[in-house]
Chain A
């Protein structure tokens, strides 16, 4: 099973995991890390490296981050360079993406899971006014 690590600014990742558990309960090989005020990018990269190692069940790890180009994303990118198993990073997470990805992992490769996360993340964003007439 592909491991999943959520990395965010502040408590967003913790909150996302909390919300995920409300909907789908405790899940195997899912963890989170936060960038807190006073943390260096290097220290975060080190924490990510340790976390993905413990999440890896042999099929690799998908890291989900909150914001493109920001430190959780950059540190995750750097962490992909020091591992001997496959890692992919997806940024711009949302709860819809999380649920589909976490539940869709059985028998899937990292690249399949990473594609699933991307398509479900994009398709879970909807405007109500596009779906029904609000006037």
Chain B
């Protein structure tokens, strides 16, 4: 089952991910990203950077929805990483049930709309953020695992 779902434009980012993974006691990190799932080299880079003893899965949106519902994966404690709110909207629309999301540094290519110091959005990402807010998903902005938490629903509601 998912113990934490984090949106981070950098996906696996060395020490930041180690901090969150330790805090939530994850024994698996699952990166859900269609492009990374097809890129063997990027997968190898990710594998090098995760904490020892943690399993890694790099899956497309479609693959992740299937695997998350298998017995083997329901027994794991999974830290899920997605790159953009657009991917999370897609996951939810395809049936993922989630109540809370942790938001990290989200500055993806072409992002021009500044939401906070840590988060900038493209037009499409802005639509997705608003959609996540409307769905009632609780969104907490936290740069790294020891940083203070900012109410990201408020940030989106105000922008």
A contact residues vs B (CB 8 Å cutoff): 37-43, 67-71, 73-74, 77-78, 81
Contact = CB atoms under 8 A, between A and B. Distances in A.
B109 A77 contact: no
Q: Can you list the 7 inter-chain pairs with the closest CB atoms, starting with the nearest?
A: A69-B14, A69-B49, A42-B109, A40-B109, A77-B45, A70-B14, A40-B107
27 contacts: A38-B107, A38-B114, A38-B120, A39-B107, A40-B9, A40-B107, A40-B108, A40-B109, A40-B110, A40-B111, A41-B9, A42-B109, A67-B15, A68-B14, A68-B48, A69-B13, A69-B15, A69-B49, A70-B14, A70-B15, A71-B10, A71-B13, A73-B14, A74-B13, A78-B41, A78-B45, A81-B41
Contacts, number: 44
| Residue of B41, B107, B111, B114 with most chain A CB atoms under a 10 A cut-off | B107
B117 interface: yes
B154 interface: no
Interface residues on chain B, size class: 10 to 19
B12 interface: yes
A39 B108 CA distance: 8
Contacts of A74: 10, 12-13, 45, 49
Contacts of B111: 40
Nearest to A45: B109
A48 B83 CA distance: 21
B109 A69 contact: no
